[in-house]
Amino acid sequence: MPATTGPAAPRIGVIGGGQLARMMLGPAIELGLPITVLATDPAESAAQGAARVRIGRHDDEEAVRALAAEVDVLTFDHEHVPPHILEGIERDGLAAVRPGPDALVHAQDKLLMRERLGALGHPCPRWWRAASPADVDAALSELGTAACAVVKTPRGGYDGHGVRIVSAGSDVADWFQDHEELLVEELVPFTRELSAQVARRPGGEMLAFPVVRSTQKDGVCFEVLAPSPDLGPADQERIQHLALRIAEDLDVTGMLAVELFETEGGDVLVNELAMRPHNTGHWSMDGAVTGQFEQHLRAVADLPLGASAPLAPHAVMVNLLGGAREDLAEGAREAMERDPELKVHLYGKTVRPGRKVGHVTLAGSDPADLLARAHRAERLIIDAVHEEQNA
């Protein structure tokens, strides 16, 4: 009898040519998934390594539709694609969009996210819509005397951009020139920031990763420890269950990261959502059975999800934020010579102060030792600062 063959591997199109798309390339090759990247420039992070690259902007409908016409599934390096472009692609049957525009909009628009999560009963900080500085002042008055609030632009903010802590509406008066409304939130007195990541297939199969602790530097994720310390099994399960419910309620396909504030009483409040691989999940590339980039591709390609169990009791990730050294490869060589267990991931990006240009990971049994070694490597790679100079 002639041999039977299964369905062809779906062709994946990734909108955006940044480091997240770059880190999907290896798992796509391993899974036999043809992948095409839509990048704005051949020098972009993912475009440097992808076998198939289209040049075009994420907000250029013609460019996005041209990508959709040659793939089976569209997914994302970022959430900034205008919804009407994705809705048209779905309507015309050009490609499956995963996550779909009805889900993605909750990661694109923070006001819609707050409104929807509140309607679903998920825990969030107190928040208000503001169409003027006077509305911001009204929210501050509700918070109480001498209160401060967090004001965010509804769209486009990331890594500390589009976020201000204010004590008066006049502090964001300039933002109303470009935004009809702003999101005003209470300034949560959190004890730490957590992140819960889950993956979901089109048919509803879901899986959670361990909840991690993240630490910021100037509004940018700098350090991640997995799993989060001092978070018992019951609390891990409770927070994972919250993230899984959000993924199901919003009909997310692919990876979902739920960034959370933990309060002094142990409760959690949803800060933000990302419907793609996320910085707080980079530890899983070398520290879990299935890393988040492979898991995202499995989910959007509708393949069975992989185990998310850690490979060691603890794993850490430290971002490389642009410093004094321009030749990162030289620093990486020195760091790897000093610590053979270190994993280095460089993004091929031009170095600028504070810019994410790579990350390092380590896995093992002693979290304090792992963090110390990861930070030593980070300093060596970005600043050429030798360990003995920091002793």
271 is in an annotated binding site: yes
90 is in an annotated binding site: no
Is 342 marked as a binding-site residue?
no
110 belongs to an annotated ligand binding site: yes
Q: Is 326 annotated as a binding residue?
A: no
As a three-state string, the secondary structure of the chain is: CCCCCCCCCCCEEEECCCHHHHHHHHHHHHHCCCEEEEECCCCCCCCCCCCEEEECCCCCHHHHHHHHHCCCEEEECCCCCCHHHHHHHHHCCCCEECCCHHHHHHHHCHHHHHHHHHHHCCCCCCEEEECCHHHHHHHHHHHCCCCCEEEECCCCCCCCCCEEEECCHHHHHHHHHCCCCEEEEECCCCCEEEEEEEEECCCCCEEECCCEEEEEECCEEEEEEECCCCCCHHHHHHHHHHHHHHHHHCCCCEEEEEEEEECCCCCEEEEEEECCCCHHHCCHHHHECCCHHHHHHHHHCCCCCCCCCECCCEEEEEEEECCCCCCHHHHHHHHHHHCCCCEEEECCCCCCCCCEEEEEEEEECCHHHHHHHHHHHHHHHHHCCCHHHHC
Q: Is 187 part of any known ligand binding site?
A: yes
**Does 223 count as an annotated binding residue?**
no
Q: In angstroms, rounded to a whole number, what is the distance separating the alpha carbons of residues 91 and 73?
A: 14
193 annotated ligand binder: yes
188 annotated to a ligand binding site: yes
- Asked if 284 and 290 count as a contact pair (C-beta separation under 8 A), the reply is yes
Give how far the C-alpha of residue 172 lies from the chain's centroid of Cα atoms, to the nearest Å: 26
Q: Which residues are annotated as a binding site?
A: 110, 152, 185-188, 193, 271-272
Residues forming the annotated binding site for ATP?
110, 152, 185-188, 193, 271-272
